[in-house]
Amino acid sequence: MSQPTPPLPEDAVLLHIGPHKTGTTAIQGILAAAREDLLEHAVTYPGRHGAHHGHARALRQHPAGWTNDTEEVPSEKQWENFARKVRNTPGRVVVSSEFFAQSEPAEISRAVADLDPERLHVLIAARNPGSIALSTWQQVLRDGKAGHLSAWLDKGFKRQSPAVVSRGFWSWADTATLVERWSEVLPVDRIRVVVIDEADRALLPATFEQLLDLPPQFLSTRTPAFSNRGLTAPEAELLRQVIEENRDRLTWTQFSLMIRYGMVARILKERRPDSDEPKSALPPWAVEQARVEADCIIERLRASGVAVSGDLENLRRLPATGETPEFDQIPISIAVQGISGAITSALKGMEQADAHGREEALRETQLARKPRKPGRKKRQVEDMSTRELTKVLNARVRAGLRRRLDPRVRRKA
Protein backbone atom coordinates (compact mmCIF):
# COMPACT_ATOMS: atom_id res chain seq x y z
CA MET A 1 0.00 0.00 0.00
CA SER A 2 1.36 3.40 -0.98
CA GLN A 3 2.00 5.83 1.86
CA PRO A 4 1.27 9.56 1.61
CA THR A 5 4.23 11.60 0.38
CA PRO A 6 4.71 14.52 2.78
CA PRO A 7 7.02 17.39 1.84
CA LEU A 8 10.61 17.27 3.01
CA PRO A 9 11.92 19.87 5.49
CA GLU A 10 12.47 23.30 4.00
CA ASP A 11 16.26 22.90 4.13
CA ALA A 12 16.40 19.28 2.88
CA VAL A 13 18.94 17.98 0.38
CA LEU A 14 17.19 15.41 -1.82
CA LEU A 15 19.61 12.93 -3.40
CA HIS A 16 17.92 11.04 -6.24
CA ILE A 17 20.12 8.01 -6.99
CA GLY A 18 18.07 6.47 -9.80
CA PRO A 19 19.00 3.73 -10.45
CA HIS A 20 19.53 3.35 -14.19
CA LYS A 21 16.55 2.75 -16.49
CA THR A 22 13.93 4.12 -14.10
CA GLY A 23 13.01 7.34 -15.91
CA THR A 24 16.09 9.25 -14.79
CA THR A 25 16.82 10.97 -18.11
CA ALA A 26 13.28 12.35 -18.32
CA ILE A 27 13.08 13.69 -14.77
CA GLN A 28 16.57 15.17 -14.95
CA GLY A 29 15.62 16.96 -18.16
CA ILE A 30 12.46 18.29 -16.53
CA LEU A 31 14.33 19.52 -13.46
CA ALA A 32 16.99 21.19 -15.59
CA ALA A 33 14.40 22.95 -17.75
CA ALA A 34 12.59 24.14 -14.61
CA ARG A 35 15.80 25.30 -12.88
CA GLU A 36 14.92 29.01 -12.86
CA ASP A 37 11.27 28.39 -11.95
CA LEU A 38 12.30 26.15 -9.06
CA LEU A 39 14.26 28.99 -7.48
CA GLU A 40 11.00 30.90 -7.03
CA HIS A 41 9.93 28.08 -4.70
CA ALA A 42 13.25 28.02 -2.80
CA VAL A 43 14.35 24.84 -4.58
CA THR A 44 17.82 24.67 -6.18
CA TYR A 45 18.83 22.23 -8.89
CA PRO A 46 22.54 23.09 -8.99
CA GLY A 47 24.75 23.22 -12.04
CA ARG A 48 24.15 23.89 -15.71
CA HIS A 49 23.62 20.36 -17.07
CA GLY A 50 20.68 18.00 -16.99
CA ALA A 51 22.16 15.65 -14.40
CA HIS A 52 25.01 15.44 -11.90
CA HIS A 53 26.80 12.47 -13.45
CA GLY A 54 30.22 14.14 -13.48
CA HIS A 55 30.03 14.84 -9.75
CA ALA A 56 28.93 11.26 -9.02
CA ARG A 57 31.87 9.96 -11.04
CA ALA A 58 34.20 12.33 -9.20
CA LEU A 59 32.95 10.96 -5.88
CA ARG A 60 33.39 7.37 -7.04
CA GLN A 61 36.58 8.01 -9.03
CA HIS A 62 35.04 5.93 -11.78
CA PRO A 63 35.51 7.07 -15.40
CA ALA A 64 33.22 6.42 -18.33
CA GLY A 65 34.45 4.16 -21.11
CA TRP A 66 35.70 0.67 -21.81
CA THR A 67 38.24 -1.46 -20.02
CA ASN A 68 41.70 0.01 -20.79
CA ASP A 69 40.13 2.87 -22.79
CA THR A 70 38.35 5.39 -20.59
CA GLU A 71 37.70 9.07 -20.30
CA GLU A 72 39.81 11.00 -17.85
CA VAL A 73 38.87 10.32 -14.23
CA PRO A 74 37.18 13.41 -12.77
CA SER A 75 39.11 15.08 -9.98
CA GLU A 76 37.98 14.46 -6.40
CA LYS A 77 38.19 18.23 -6.03
CA GLN A 78 35.22 18.46 -8.39
CA TRP A 79 33.11 16.46 -5.94
CA GLU A 80 34.41 18.40 -2.93
CA ASN A 81 33.56 21.75 -4.52
CA PHE A 82 30.12 20.54 -5.57
CA ALA A 83 29.30 19.12 -2.13
CA ARG A 84 30.45 22.36 -0.48
CA LYS A 85 28.19 24.35 -2.79
CA VAL A 86 25.24 22.08 -1.93
CA ARG A 87 25.89 22.43 1.82
CA ASN A 88 26.07 26.22 1.52
CA THR A 89 22.86 26.53 -0.50
CA PRO A 90 19.81 27.52 1.57
CA GLY A 91 16.39 26.00 1.03
CA ARG A 92 15.75 22.65 -0.61
CA VAL A 93 18.42 21.27 -2.96
CA VAL A 94 18.01 18.43 -5.47
CA VAL A 95 20.92 16.29 -6.68
CA SER A 96 20.25 13.61 -9.30
CA SER A 97 22.42 10.94 -10.90
CA GLU A 98 21.85 7.22 -11.33
CA PHE A 99 25.59 6.67 -10.89
CA PHE A 100 25.17 7.20 -7.14
CA ALA A 101 23.24 3.91 -7.08
CA GLN A 102 26.44 2.07 -8.00
CA SER A 103 28.35 3.49 -5.03
CA GLU A 104 30.22 1.16 -2.73
CA PRO A 105 29.82 1.45 1.08
CA ALA A 106 32.77 3.82 1.55
CA GLU A 107 31.48 6.06 -1.25
CA ILE A 108 28.00 6.08 0.27
CA SER A 109 29.44 7.10 3.64
CA ARG A 110 31.35 9.94 2.04
CA ALA A 111 28.34 11.13 0.02
CA VAL A 112 26.19 11.25 3.15
CA ALA A 113 28.88 13.03 5.18
CA ASP A 114 29.75 15.55 2.46
CA LEU A 115 26.14 16.45 1.59
CA ASP A 116 25.26 17.01 5.28
CA PRO A 117 23.73 14.01 7.08
CA GLU A 118 21.39 16.32 9.01
CA ARG A 119 19.76 17.54 5.81
CA LEU A 120 20.09 14.57 3.46
CA HIS A 121 17.17 12.49 2.17
CA VAL A 122 17.51 9.79 -0.50
CA LEU A 123 15.00 8.89 -3.21
CA ILE A 124 15.26 5.50 -4.94
CA ALA A 125 13.10 4.43 -7.88
CA ALA A 126 11.94 0.82 -8.22
CA ARG A 127 10.94 -0.76 -11.52
CA ASN A 128 9.80 -4.27 -12.34
CA PRO A 129 12.85 -6.53 -12.89
CA GLY A 130 11.79 -7.64 -16.37
CA SER A 131 11.51 -4.16 -17.85
CA ILE A 132 14.66 -2.91 -16.17
CA ALA A 133 16.56 -5.91 -17.56
CA LEU A 134 15.46 -5.24 -21.15
CA SER A 135 16.30 -1.55 -20.83
CA THR A 136 19.68 -2.29 -19.28
CA TRP A 137 20.65 -4.64 -22.10
CA GLN A 138 19.82 -1.89 -24.60
CA GLN A 139 21.93 0.60 -22.65
CA VAL A 140 25.00 -1.62 -22.48
CA LEU A 141 24.50 -2.41 -26.16
CA ARG A 142 24.50 1.33 -26.92
CA ASP A 143 27.72 1.62 -24.92
CA GLY A 144 29.36 -1.09 -27.02
CA LYS A 145 29.53 -3.50 -24.08
CA ALA A 146 26.99 -6.17 -25.08
CA GLY A 147 25.87 -8.27 -28.03
CA HIS A 148 22.77 -10.43 -28.36
CA LEU A 149 20.09 -10.16 -25.68
CA SER A 150 20.30 -13.87 -24.91
CA ALA A 151 24.03 -13.67 -24.19
CA TRP A 152 23.61 -10.68 -21.89
CA LEU A 153 20.76 -12.36 -19.99
CA ASP A 154 22.88 -15.46 -19.41
CA LYS A 155 25.83 -13.42 -18.19
CA GLY A 156 24.29 -10.46 -16.36
CA PHE A 157 20.72 -11.36 -15.38
CA LYS A 158 20.47 -15.09 -14.79
CA ARG A 159 20.97 -16.52 -11.31
CA GLN A 160 19.58 -19.44 -9.34
CA SER A 161 17.84 -17.37 -6.65
CA PRO A 162 17.68 -13.80 -5.32
CA ALA A 163 20.70 -12.80 -3.26
CA VAL A 164 22.47 -9.65 -2.13
CA VAL A 165 25.48 -8.95 -4.36
CA SER A 166 27.98 -6.08 -4.51
CA ARG A 167 28.78 -6.12 -8.23
CA GLY A 168 26.90 -6.29 -11.49
CA PHE A 169 23.28 -5.79 -12.53
CA TRP A 170 21.61 -7.05 -9.36
CA SER A 171 23.75 -4.85 -7.11
CA TRP A 172 21.74 -1.82 -8.24
CA ALA A 173 18.62 -3.17 -10.01
CA ASP A 174 17.44 -4.79 -6.75
CA THR A 175 15.78 -1.89 -4.93
CA ALA A 176 15.77 -3.67 -1.58
CA THR A 177 19.55 -4.06 -1.79
CA LEU A 178 19.91 -0.31 -2.40
CA VAL A 179 17.70 0.48 0.59
CA GLU A 180 19.71 -1.87 2.80
CA ARG A 181 23.02 -0.42 1.61
CA TRP A 182 22.08 3.24 2.10
CA SER A 183 20.25 2.62 5.39
CA GLU A 184 23.52 1.42 6.90
CA VAL A 185 24.63 5.06 6.86
CA LEU A 186 21.38 7.03 6.77
CA PRO A 187 18.29 6.33 8.92
CA VAL A 188 15.69 4.43 6.92
CA ASP A 189 13.13 7.17 7.60
CA ARG A 190 15.30 9.45 5.43
CA ILE A 191 14.93 7.10 2.48
CA ARG A 192 11.93 6.85 0.18
CA VAL A 193 11.17 4.43 -2.65
CA VAL A 194 8.99 5.47 -5.58
CA VAL A 195 7.60 2.56 -7.59
CA ILE A 196 7.55 3.19 -11.33
CA ASP A 197 4.23 2.61 -13.07
CA GLU A 198 4.84 1.73 -16.73
CA ALA A 199 1.44 3.25 -17.60
CA ASP A 200 1.84 6.52 -15.65
CA ARG A 201 4.81 8.65 -16.67
CA ALA A 202 3.61 11.49 -14.43
CA LEU A 203 4.13 9.50 -11.22
CA LEU A 204 7.85 10.22 -10.81
CA PRO A 205 7.68 14.00 -11.42
CA ALA A 206 4.54 14.17 -9.25
CA THR A 207 6.49 12.53 -6.42
CA PHE A 208 9.16 15.22 -6.77
CA GLU A 209 6.42 17.85 -6.61
CA GLN A 210 5.16 16.44 -3.32
CA LEU A 211 8.59 16.03 -1.76
CA LEU A 212 9.62 19.56 -2.74
CA ASP A 213 6.27 21.10 -1.77
CA LEU A 214 5.69 22.38 -5.31
CA PRO A 215 2.27 23.18 -6.78
CA PRO A 216 0.49 20.21 -8.40
CA GLN A 217 1.53 19.67 -12.05
CA PHE A 218 4.48 22.04 -11.64
CA LEU A 219 6.77 19.33 -13.03
CA SER A 220 4.46 16.52 -14.15
CA THR A 221 2.91 18.44 -17.06
CA ARG A 222 6.25 19.45 -18.54
CA THR A 223 7.60 17.61 -21.56
CA PRO A 224 11.16 16.33 -21.08
CA ALA A 225 13.70 17.50 -23.64
CA PHE A 226 14.75 13.90 -24.24
CA SER A 227 12.77 10.90 -23.02
CA ASN A 228 15.33 8.20 -23.90
CA ARG A 229 12.80 5.80 -25.45
CA GLY A 230 13.76 2.20 -25.98
CA LEU A 231 15.07 0.78 -29.24
CA THR A 232 12.79 -1.43 -31.27
CA ALA A 233 14.06 -4.90 -32.17
CA PRO A 234 15.23 -3.96 -35.70
CA GLU A 235 16.86 -0.77 -34.41
CA ALA A 236 18.72 -2.76 -31.77
CA GLU A 237 19.80 -5.38 -34.31
CA LEU A 238 21.18 -2.75 -36.70
CA LEU A 239 23.12 -1.20 -33.84
CA ARG A 240 24.43 -4.59 -32.70
CA GLN A 241 25.74 -5.42 -36.17
CA VAL A 242 27.29 -1.98 -36.68
CA ILE A 243 29.11 -2.31 -33.34
CA GLU A 244 30.21 -5.86 -34.09
CA GLU A 245 31.68 -4.70 -37.39
CA ASN A 246 33.37 -1.53 -36.15
CA ARG A 247 34.12 -1.54 -32.44
CA ASP A 248 37.64 -2.94 -32.70
CA ARG A 249 38.71 -0.09 -34.96
CA LEU A 250 37.31 2.69 -32.76
CA THR A 251 38.47 4.28 -29.54
CA TRP A 252 35.90 5.00 -26.84
CA THR A 253 35.93 8.69 -27.79
CA GLN A 254 35.38 7.94 -31.48
CA PHE A 255 32.67 5.41 -30.64
CA SER A 256 30.90 7.93 -28.42
CA LEU A 257 31.09 10.65 -31.06
CA MET A 258 29.79 8.63 -34.00
CA ILE A 259 27.71 5.83 -32.45
CA ARG A 260 26.38 6.93 -29.04
CA TYR A 261 25.88 10.64 -29.74
CA GLY A 262 25.54 10.27 -33.50
CA MET A 263 23.81 7.16 -34.79
CA VAL A 264 21.84 6.17 -31.68
CA ALA A 265 20.88 9.67 -30.57
CA ARG A 266 19.56 10.52 -34.04
CA ILE A 267 17.47 7.34 -34.28
CA LEU A 268 15.92 7.88 -30.86
CA LYS A 269 15.23 11.56 -31.39
CA GLU A 270 14.08 11.74 -34.99
CA ARG A 271 12.55 8.36 -35.84
CA ARG A 272 8.97 7.46 -34.96
CA PRO A 273 8.56 3.68 -35.25
CA ASP A 274 5.24 2.20 -36.32
CA SER A 275 3.20 0.87 -33.42
CA ASP A 276 3.50 -2.69 -34.72
CA GLU A 277 7.29 -2.62 -35.14
CA PRO A 278 8.69 -5.64 -33.23
CA LYS A 279 10.23 -5.13 -29.81
CA SER A 280 12.80 -7.22 -28.00
CA ALA A 281 11.26 -9.64 -25.53
CA LEU A 282 12.35 -11.79 -22.60
CA PRO A 283 12.27 -15.58 -22.96
CA PRO A 284 9.92 -17.47 -20.60
CA TRP A 285 12.67 -18.46 -18.16
CA ALA A 286 13.72 -14.81 -17.70
CA VAL A 287 10.15 -13.66 -17.05
CA GLU A 288 9.75 -16.40 -14.45
CA GLN A 289 12.99 -15.37 -12.77
CA ALA A 290 11.85 -11.73 -12.80
CA ARG A 291 8.64 -12.80 -11.06
CA VAL A 292 10.60 -14.54 -8.29
CA GLU A 293 12.91 -11.52 -7.96
CA ALA A 294 9.92 -9.15 -7.70
CA ASP A 295 8.32 -11.20 -4.94
CA CYS A 296 11.54 -11.16 -2.94
CA ILE A 297 12.12 -7.42 -3.44
CA ILE A 298 8.59 -6.58 -2.32
CA GLU A 299 8.91 -8.74 0.80
CA ARG A 300 12.23 -7.16 1.77
CA LEU A 301 11.02 -3.61 1.14
CA ARG A 302 7.99 -4.16 3.35
CA ALA A 303 10.16 -5.64 6.07
CA SER A 304 12.60 -2.71 5.92
CA GLY A 305 10.00 -0.14 6.91
CA VAL A 306 11.06 2.21 4.11
CA ALA A 307 8.45 4.73 2.96
CA VAL A 308 6.96 3.93 -0.44
CA SER A 309 5.29 6.16 -3.03
CA GLY A 310 3.29 4.25 -5.62
CA ASP A 311 2.10 0.65 -5.67
CA LEU A 312 4.57 -2.13 -4.90
CA GLU A 313 2.39 -4.50 -6.93
CA ASN A 314 3.70 -2.74 -10.05
CA LEU A 315 6.93 -4.66 -9.52
CA ARG A 316 4.98 -7.80 -10.39
CA ARG A 317 3.58 -6.35 -13.63
CA LEU A 318 6.18 -7.82 -15.96
CA PRO A 319 6.57 -7.46 -19.74
CA ALA A 320 5.09 -10.20 -21.89
CA THR A 321 7.31 -13.12 -22.75
CA GLY A 322 8.23 -13.81 -26.35
CA GLU A 323 10.97 -14.51 -28.82
CA THR A 324 12.93 -11.61 -30.25
CA PRO A 325 12.73 -11.95 -34.05
CA GLU A 326 15.79 -12.22 -36.25
CA PHE A 327 16.24 -9.85 -39.18
CA ASP A 328 17.91 -10.05 -42.55
CA GLN A 329 16.25 -6.79 -43.60
CA ILE A 330 15.34 -3.64 -41.68
CA PRO A 331 13.23 -0.56 -42.48
CA ILE A 332 15.26 1.85 -44.58
CA SER A 333 14.28 4.73 -42.27
CA ILE A 334 16.39 3.19 -39.49
CA ALA A 335 19.48 3.10 -41.71
CA VAL A 336 18.87 6.62 -43.01
CA GLN A 337 18.58 8.14 -39.54
CA GLY A 338 21.48 6.10 -38.17
CA ILE A 339 23.87 7.00 -41.00
CA SER A 340 22.76 10.63 -40.95
CA GLY A 341 23.39 10.85 -37.22
CA ALA A 342 26.88 9.37 -37.52
CA ILE A 343 27.79 11.71 -40.39
CA THR A 344 26.41 14.81 -38.68
CA SER A 345 28.19 14.05 -35.41
CA ALA A 346 31.48 13.25 -37.15
CA LEU A 347 31.31 16.47 -39.18
CA LYS A 348 30.64 18.48 -36.06
CA GLY A 349 33.65 16.91 -34.38
CA MET A 350 35.82 17.59 -37.43
CA GLU A 351 34.69 21.21 -37.58
CA GLN A 352 35.58 21.70 -33.93
CA ALA A 353 38.92 20.00 -34.47
CA ASP A 354 39.57 22.09 -37.57
CA ALA A 355 38.94 25.29 -35.65
CA HIS A 356 41.19 24.07 -32.84
CA GLY A 357 43.90 23.19 -35.35
CA ARG A 358 43.75 26.62 -36.99
CA GLU A 359 44.12 28.26 -33.59
CA GLU A 360 47.18 26.16 -32.83
CA ALA A 361 48.65 26.89 -36.26
CA LEU A 362 48.14 30.61 -35.73
CA ARG A 363 49.90 30.45 -32.37
CA GLU A 364 52.75 28.55 -34.00
CA THR A 365 53.22 31.16 -36.71
CA GLN A 366 53.14 33.92 -34.10
CA LEU A 367 55.84 32.12 -32.13
CA ALA A 368 57.85 31.68 -35.30
CA ARG A 369 57.96 35.45 -35.79
CA LYS A 370 59.64 35.99 -32.43
CA PRO A 371 63.46 36.34 -32.38
CA ARG A 372 65.10 33.05 -31.50
CA LYS A 373 68.16 32.47 -29.38
CA PRO A 374 71.52 32.14 -31.14
CA GLY A 375 72.21 28.66 -32.35
CA ARG A 376 68.53 27.72 -32.78
CA LYS A 377 68.04 26.49 -36.34
CA LYS A 378 64.24 26.48 -36.52
CA ARG A 379 63.23 28.49 -39.55
CA GLN A 380 61.30 31.73 -39.22
CA VAL A 381 57.91 31.91 -40.89
CA GLU A 382 59.17 34.81 -43.01
CA ASP A 383 61.75 32.46 -44.53
CA MET A 384 59.17 29.90 -45.61
CA SER A 385 57.68 29.76 -49.07
CA THR A 386 53.89 29.82 -49.46
CA ARG A 387 53.96 26.12 -50.30
CA GLU A 388 56.03 25.31 -47.21
CA LEU A 389 53.84 27.42 -44.94
CA THR A 390 50.69 25.75 -46.28
CA LYS A 391 52.23 22.36 -45.56
CA VAL A 392 52.97 23.38 -41.95
CA LEU A 393 49.46 24.73 -41.41
CA ASN A 394 47.83 21.61 -42.84
CA ALA A 395 49.96 19.43 -40.58
CA ARG A 396 48.85 21.44 -37.56
CA VAL A 397 45.19 21.12 -38.53
CA ARG A 398 45.53 17.35 -38.94
CA ALA A 399 47.27 17.08 -35.58
CA GLY A 400 44.49 19.05 -33.94
CA LEU A 401 41.92 16.75 -35.52
CA ARG A 402 43.68 13.67 -34.15
CA ARG A 403 43.84 15.20 -30.69
CA ARG A 404 40.17 16.13 -30.81
CA LEU A 405 38.94 12.70 -31.86
CA ASP A 406 41.31 10.67 -29.69
CA PRO A 407 42.28 12.08 -26.26
CA ARG A 408 45.02 9.47 -25.92
CA VAL A 409 46.93 11.33 -28.62
CA ARG A 410 46.50 14.55 -26.68
CA ARG A 411 47.78 12.99 -23.46
CA LYS A 412 50.89 11.69 -25.21
CA ALA A 413 51.66 15.08 -26.72
Q: What is the pLDDT of residues 138-177, one digit of tens each?
A: 999 999 999 999 999 999 999 999 999 999 999 999 999 9
pLDDT digits over 327-342, tens only?
888 999 999 999 999 9
Whether the predicted pLDDT of 48 surpasses 70: yes
Whether the predicted pLDDT of 326 surpasses 90: no
Q: Give the per-residue pLDDT at 412.
A: 44
CB of 266 closer than 8 Å to CB of 226: no
The arithmetic mean of pLDDT across residues 18-23, rounded, is 97
pLDDT digits over 382-394, tens only?
455 555 555 555 5
Global pTM value: 0.84
Q: Helices in 143-232 by DSSP H: which ranges?
A: 149-152, 170-173, 175-183, 203-211
| Nearest-angstrom CA–CA distance, 288 and 373 | 78
Domain locations along the chain: 13-229+282-323, 232-279+331-413
Percentage with pLDDT > 70 across the chain:
84
The arithmetic mean of pLDDT across residues 13-21, rounded, is 98
Q: Give the per-residue pLDDT at 406.
A: 57
Q: Give the per-residue pLDDT at 241.
A: 95
Q: Give the per-residue pLDDT at 358.
A: 63
Whether the predicted pLDDT of 217 surpasses 90: yes
* Residue of 344 and 226 predicted with greater confidence: 344
Whether the predicted pLDDT of 375 surpasses 80: no
Whether the predicted pLDDT of 12 surpasses 80: yes
Q: Give the per-residue pLDDT at 26.
A: 95
DSSP letter, residue 319: P
* Residue of 320 and 41 predicted with greater confidence: 41
CB of 47 closer than 8 Å to CB of 97: no
DSSP E strands, 177-233: 191-195
User: Is the CATH number of domain 13-229+282-323 3.90.1150.10?
Assistant: no
Q: Give the per-residue pLDDT at 410.
A: 46
Confidence band (pLDDT; 50, 70, 90) for 413? very low
Contacts of residue 307, defined as CB under 8 A and 6 or more positions apart, other chains included, come to 3, 5, 189, 191, 192, 193
Buried b vs exposed e over 315-339: b needs ≥16 C-beta within 10 Å? bbebbeeeebeeeeebbeebeebbe
pLDDT digits over 396-412, tens only?
555 555 555 555 544 44
| 15: three-class secondary structure by DSSP | strand
The arithmetic mean of pLDDT across residues 198-226, rounded, is 94
Query: What is the average pLDDT value for the chain, to the nearest integer?
Result: 89
Confidence band (pLDDT; 50, 70, 90) for 367? low
Whether the predicted pLDDT of 93 surpasses 50: yes
Whether the predicted pLDDT of 34 surpasses 70: yes
